[in-house]
Amino acid sequence: MKATLAILTIGVVPVSEVLPLLTEHISEQQIVHLSLLGKISREEVMEDYAIEPGEDALPTLLSDGEIAHVSRQKN
């Protein structure tokens, strides 16, 4: 069965907290979660997505459990 709903996030999201709401409408097998920065180390994230002067900050939760402010323009 193919996924009918994709959850796309910048960082780490506790999908287990959202899943019960979604599975009221579609089966869990039809849901896939994709995280842009969720499996990348903090060092790699900051190397590629650090805020430059004049850019907007986007707070995001990383895999180390801490919030990082990354560049909205680079995402």
Inform me whether the pLDDT recorded for 33 exceeds 80. yes
pLDDT digits (tens, 9 = 90+) for 34-75: 999 989 999 999 999 999 999 999 999 999 999 999 999 887
Q: Is the pTM of this model over 0.85?
A: no
What's the number of domains the chain is made of?
1
Question: CB-side exposure of 66: number of CA atoms within 13 Å?
Answer: 10
pLDDT value of residue 2: 72
54 phi/psi in degrees, rounded to 5: 90, -5
Look up tokens 């979604």; give the residue.
22
Domain that holds residue 34: 5-71
Q: How far is CA 35 from CA 15, 24, 52, 62, in A?
A: 11, 23, 23, 10
